[in-house]
A = this chain, B = another copy of it.
């Protein structure tokens, strides 16, 4: 079975991308999942514009992402919190996806994660990010994980130096898989 990692950041060294890949590695190593990565930087989705959609149709980057979503049973989203709510990048991505029919997010299992350099980790943004996924019929896992001080804790080669955080990530990944495998 396939899992799609969706880091909702355009940064090359995105903490959220690292967090997604740590979870992905767990799913490949401890469970029999095949993990793929959506690269929003490469997909280059433009800001949603209904006129552009009418004139030129769905952008190719959106179609590529939708294909990745259709091929996956579940999506691991890692998204920064901006201004106490969902990141504009994630929302714009969802807005485009929702223009494709049939709705690609309906019935998908979603796990929401957030990594940030600050102490709080983005818990408010995570709660806001649930809404558009749930409005589109995704099964968003109740538990979410906001990893604070991620720039100190997570290394370039995806090691987690804080043992408590590491175990929490692994436990959540395992429980999420247990739920969708039911």
Q: Does the CB pair A88–B48 fall under 8 Å?
A: yes
Tell me if A11 counts as interface (CB < 8 A to partner B).
yes
Rounded to whole angstroms, the CA-CA distance of A48 and B51 in the bound complex is 21
Report chain B residues within 8 Å CB of A177: none
Q: Does the CB pair B95–A92 fall under 8 Å?
A: no
Report chain B residues within 8 Å CB of A91: 82, 85-88, 91-92
Partner of A47, one of B47, B51, B139, B182: B47
The listed residue with most B CB atoms (<10 A of its CB), out of A49, A91, A127, is A91
Report chain B residues within 8 Å CB of A128: 85, 128, 131
Can you report 28 residue pairs joining A to B where beta carbons are below 8 Å apart? A10-B51, A10-B52, A11-B49, A46-B47, A47-B89, A47-B92, A48-B87, A48-B89, A82-B91, A82-B95, A83-B94, A83-B131, A83-B132, A84-B131, A84-B132, A85-B132, A87-B91, A88-B95, A91-B91, A91-B92, A124-B124, A124-B127, A127-B131, A130-B130, A133-B142, A134-B142, A135-B142, A182-B182
CB distance from A132 to the nearest CB of B (A): 4
Tell me if A17 counts as interface (CB < 8 A to partner B).
no
Chain A 142-170 residues near chain B, CB threshold 8 A: 142-143
Rounded to whole angstroms, the CA-CA distance of A98 and B12 in the bound complex is 21
Rounded to whole angstroms, the CA-CA distance of A93 and B143 in the bound complex is 21
In the complex, residue of chain B having the shortest beta-carbon distance to the beta carbon of A135: B84
The listed residue with most B CB atoms (<10 A of its CB), out of A45, A87, A93, is A87
Report chain B residues within 8 Å CB of A142: 133-140
